[in-house]
């Protein structure tokens, strides 16, 4: 029963990622009606649409470090619940947009709120989980993101633009109604010297009859340690290596092309001339992503983090090579199925490794005293990288062509393989203290 409650709390916290995923998936099917003038009373140019899609990631980049400070002061649960208010305001701007600037504001705010969950939810789930299920729970965030993306693709294919906006905009309310019943992280409560509340939270998560003495002792001992100054904590070799590895994984996660493909999926399939409905091609993409992420969750605590990352990077390298080959040599041939197949395989490759694992490893690599700050720095870098990719992708398509752009993604994926082999440690089955000793050594 204890593990079930941990799963429930982890899934509830990570539901914020479903809201984020719907925001990511929104832009694919909404591109055509917005550019065509069917969604709003105002027109949007191609350049303005590029900002509508990418400014969401810029909002995410601006908020990660402040949110790390806030969750250290006020707790993981409180901050996630309060985020619902700006989330709703952001969607209100999108739903009732009277000009393109309201779209900019709405997307920026929605991105900021979604990115806040990127920091808070993985931290919360790893803090409430037992070691033996920490890997599975660490993937819940990515699991909800891909379901959210599929949701965005699906409602975009089925409904009119206004209804799509409303169906995405009500999701933060659902998160609030679910997560409000979950306990605060016992690690945070222990850090605030609320031992009785920390024990109560642990009892709820593990079960009333569970022996929590060892876990509580470890948490309380860690909380009672004299905390070094931020400069001292950040100067430790374990913190430096952990930050370098996390930022590098975030770089490869974004610059292998995932958000470029997701944000512009409908446009890519239209450009490829598949002969299929672009909207439904994106739905197929979303389904493939969901199944691959579920597979990753089943394997992450059995096969380990490194092997999943290696398989992921290798498959992304091969599929982006195929996409480049199609656009350079075969676009005028009757093989419109090839870009659909290649993109689905790319999404599968991403989802079994580089989708969930960098977030999981980020939450595992840092000691408790520097985790909020380091996690926020890594999250900020991730969103800055995402902004660069989503803003530059359409520019690169126009300037260099689709083939060259996808081949650049292939080269970066190959470099990711080399990086994983040389520098990424295996964290499966290790306690957070053992991971620090591994990095420090």
Read off the pLDDT of residues 34-90 as tens digits, 9 standing for 90 and up.
988 888 989 888 888 888 988 988 898 888 888 888 888 888 999 999 999 999 999
Domain of residue 123 covers 2-182+226-440
Contacts of 408 (CB under 8 A, 6+ apart): 396
Residue 410 lies in a domain: yes
Stretch among 82-91, 94-103, 130-139, 305-314 having the lowest mean pLDDT: 130-139
- Any domain includes 170: yes
The arithmetic mean of pLDDT across residues 333-345, rounded, is: 76
- Exposed/middle/buried for residue 188 (C-beta within 10 Å: 0-12, 13-18, 19+): buried
Judge whether residue 135 has pLDDT over 80. no
Rounded to two decimals, the pTM is 0.78
With a pLDDT cut of 70, the percent of the chain lying above it is: 90
CA-CA distance, 209 to 114, in Å (whole number)?
37
pLDDT at 411: 95
CATH number at residue 34: 1.20.1250.20
Per-residue pLDDT reduced to its tens digit, 260-293 = 776 566 666 666 565 566 667 677 777 887 888 8
Is residue 146 assigned to a domain?
yes
| 219 located within any domain | no
- Please check whether residue 220 lies inside any domain of the structure: no
User: Is residue 10 situated within a structural domain?
Assistant: yes
From CA 311, how far away is CA 317, in angstroms rounded? 10
Is residue 211 a part of any domain in this protein? no
Q: How many domains does the chain have?
A: 1
Q: Which of 11-20, 265-274, 370-379 shows the lowest per-residue confidence on average (mean pLDDT)?
A: 265-274
Task: Report pLDDT digits (tens) over 186-236.
Answer: 888 888 888 888 889 888 888 777 777 777 777 777 667 666 666 777 778
The answer to the question of residue 192 being in a domain is no
Give the separation between CA 139 and CA 422, rounded to whole angstroms: 24
């Amino acid at each position: 029963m204890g593990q079930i409650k941990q799963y429930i709390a982890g899934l509830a916290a990570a539901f914020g990622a479903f809201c984020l995923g719907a925001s990511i998936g929104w832009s694919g099917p909404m591109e055509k009606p917005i550019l065509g003038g069917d969604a709003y009373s105002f027109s949007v140019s191609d350049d303005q649409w590029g900002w509508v899609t990418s400014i969401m990631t810029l909002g995410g980049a601006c908020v990660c470090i402040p949110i790390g400070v806030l969750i250290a002061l006020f707790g993981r649960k409180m901050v996630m619940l309060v985020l619902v208010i700006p989330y709703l305001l952001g969607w209100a701007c999108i739903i009732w947009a009277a000009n393109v600037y309201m779209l900019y504001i709405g997307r920026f705010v929605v991105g900021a709120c979604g990115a806040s969950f990127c920091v808070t939810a993985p931290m919360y789930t790893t803090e409430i989980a037992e070691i033996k299920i920490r890997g599975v729970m660490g993937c819940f965030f990515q699991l909800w993101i891909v379901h959210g993306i599929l949701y965005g693709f699906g409602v975009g294919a089925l409904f009119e633009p206004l209804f799509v906006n409303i169906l995405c905009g009500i999701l933060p309310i659902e998160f609030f109604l679910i997560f409000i019943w979950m306990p605060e992280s016992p690690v945070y409560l222990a850090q605030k010297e609320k031992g009785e509340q920390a024990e109560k939270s642990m009892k709820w998560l593990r079960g009333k009859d569970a022996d929590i003495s060892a876990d509580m002792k470890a948490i309380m001992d860690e909380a009672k340690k004299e905390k070094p100054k931020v400069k001292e904590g950040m100067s430790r070799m374990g913190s430096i290596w952990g930050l370098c590895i996390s930022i590098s994984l975030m770089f490869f996660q974004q610059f292998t092309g995932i958000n470029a493909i997701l944000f512009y999926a409908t446009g890519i399939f239209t450009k490829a001339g598949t002969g299929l409905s672009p909207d439904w091609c994106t739905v197929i993409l979303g389904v493939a992503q969901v199944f691959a992420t579920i597979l990753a969750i089943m394997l992450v605590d059995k096969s380990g983090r490194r092997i999943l990352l290696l398989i992921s990077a290798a498959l992304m390298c091969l599929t982006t090579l195929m996409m480049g080959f199609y656009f350079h040599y075969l676009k005028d041939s009757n093989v419109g199925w090839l870009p659909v197949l290649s993109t689905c395989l790319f999404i599968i490759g991403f989802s079994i490794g580089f989708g969930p694992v960098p977030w999981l490893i980020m939450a595992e690599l840092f000691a408790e005293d520097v985790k909020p700050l380091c996690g926020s720095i890594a999250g900020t870098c991730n969103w800055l990288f995402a902004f660069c990719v989503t803003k530059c992708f359409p520019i690169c398509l126009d300037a260099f062509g689709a083939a060259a752009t996808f081949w650049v993604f292939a080269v970066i994926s190959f470099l990711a393989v080399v990086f994983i082999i040389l520098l990424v440690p295996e964290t499966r089955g290790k306690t957070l203290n053992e991971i620090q000793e591994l990095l420090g050594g």
